[in-house]
Amino acid sequence: METTLRGVGVSHGVAIGEVRHMGTAVLEPPAKQIPAADAEREQGRARQAVDAVAADLTARGNLAGGEAQAVLEAQAMMAQDPELMADVDRRIAVGSTAERAVYDAFAAYRALLAGAGEYLAGRVADLDDVRNRIVARLLGVPMPGVPDSDEPYVLIARDLAPADTALLDPTLVLGFVTEEGGPTSHSAILARALGVPAVVALPGAGELAEGTVIAVDGSTGEIFVEPSAEKKAELEAAAAQRKAALAASTGPGATSDGHKVPLLANVGGPTDVPAAVAAGAEGVGLFRTEFLFLDDSKNAPSEAKQIEAYRQVLEAFPEGRVVVRVLDAGADKPLDFLTPADEPNPALGVRGLRTLLDHPDVLSTQLTALAKAAEGLPVYLEVMAPMVADRADAKAFADACRAAGLRAKFGAMVEIPSAALRARSILQEVEFLSLGTNDLAQYTFAADRQVGAVSRLQDPWQPALLDLVALSAEAAHAEGKSCGVCGEAASDPLLACVLIGLGVTSLSMGAASIPYVRASLAKYTLAQCERAAAAARAADSADEARDAAQAVLSGE
């Protein structure tokens, strides 16, 4: 009998297939004592396993490239954390086996993360995956991971670790469903990059029996269990209609009455560029530069290495716009040479621009490298700072850009409510704003983007978040400057229309979402988008806002 479940749709498309569950290793080793004479040998085993897992994660990252590479390299750093390894050594020295010492040391660290505020608690899934891989290697059992199958299937998991998501084979994994996660979690972002339909934050997903046929609608978040032939036909027809609309929509982004909306790509490095170009991106709206710095957590990359990487991206968009975000370190992206190790709540501490202002040499080197990378190129380079709180932050960043001889527009990311509320003040120092809706939602609602239990508050349709977007866009319009959105909100085709109606001037997203957004904008006039935006802001909840906007655009 057909039943319907609803989670959070995070990656467009429809998948119909049999359920397969994520495999797990035997994770808890027995607690037994070893003779003191064996301690050194066990410590060596532990170090070998840790190094092997870190190397495997790094290799997976190199294969995956882009955003996945940065995430997996961060996991590799987590595996080799010096404090964790010191704890493992101490436990072995008092009689634990290597596998038990790893298990217990990670459990202690896990408890610290879980209790350190919701932002860091979101890293627990990544930490668990690293622990499971090390313990599995020490025990000689299969690694946790995607199931072996010769036939395509829909993958079900409690949560998907980046190491698994990054290398999913789209020819076998039709789509995936997780119990945990949110619309801006690592799994969601990587699913969009892969173009795999995905639904997250679905309670009870793990109870779906192996082999059950389900239909996953990654746009609506609906899961149809044992769908009828009629439902399958309906979903397949809708998917075919969407595909036809995408194929018919080409060229620059614009509303049906010709209002131009530049559609830009979010990239993590040179490996993301081909997909962005293929999708028709008109430039880059968010170039995350962290990938370079995650190669070595103890040292910043050289100026020469930075120049080479930046130039590869800039050369791909001649006459186009490339917006570079300077290093956003701290919180869930710690770097040993930059970020404090003892902050009680890193998400509310020294991160983003605050980190760079504490280390002006790192900022100066990056800005100088960007200036040199752009020399002689016809690209329109723009550089922005993350986590800008007020005008003083904006001025400090603009001054640093000028001191580095950077010939580019300087901008500020709006990720903190204070920046939205005082956007006009910030625009006295910089030339554009870029809304990072992922963090803006997180800080507005005190709701960690990795925690499925608070996913309703991470929903970019929340009217309070739309109010902050509108404030920023209105301030930019008043100052004759631009205000784009580079957060995941821009990848929602319906919400994209609302954002334009709020006054946003450009949209940046993962390359896979560009055709969907282009096709959606082309169906409506600017006036329709403005009416939809007003209706969404008048609502009292995210669901009501979405329904109100849809009703306006459908002519109901």
Active site residues: 186, 486
Burial of residue 241 (number of CB atoms within 10 Å: 0-12, 13-18, 19+): exposed
Distance of CA 535 to the CA centre of its chain: 28
Contacts of 331 (CB under 8 A, 6+ apart): 119, 120, 346, 347, 349, 351
Q: Dihedral of CA 233/238/243/244: which sign?
A: positive
Q: What are the residues facing 215 on neighbouring strands?
A: 16, 224
| Structure-token pair, residue 247 | 């194929």
Q: Dihedral of CA 481/497/223/246: which sign?
A: negative
Supply φ then ψ for residue 174, to 5 degrees.
-70, -35
Quote the CA–CA distance of 492 and 497 in Å, as a whole number. 9
User: What is the full DSSP assignment across 303-339?
Assistant: HHHHHHHHHHHHHTSTTSEEEEE----BTTB--TTTS
Q: What are the residues facing 225 on neighbouring strands?
A: 3, 214
3-state secondary structure 94-155: CCECHHHHHHHHHHHHHHHHHCCCHHHHCCHHHHHHHHHHHHHHHHCCCCCECCCCCCCEEE
Strand blocks (E) in 400-535:
409-414, 432-435, 482-485, 506-509
Distance of CA 173 to the CA centre of its chain: 20
Asked whether 452 and 201 are in contact (CB, 8 A), the reply is yes
Quote the CA–CA distance of 294 and 34 in Å, as a whole number. 37
Q: What is the distance between the terminal CA atoms of the chain, rounded to a whole angstrom?
A: 33
In 3D, which of 314, 321, 403 has the Cα closest to residue 357? 403
DSSP-derived letter for residue 348 is G
Number of CB atoms found within 10 A of residue 242's CB:
18
Q: What are the residues facing 155 on neighbouring strands?
A: 20, 176
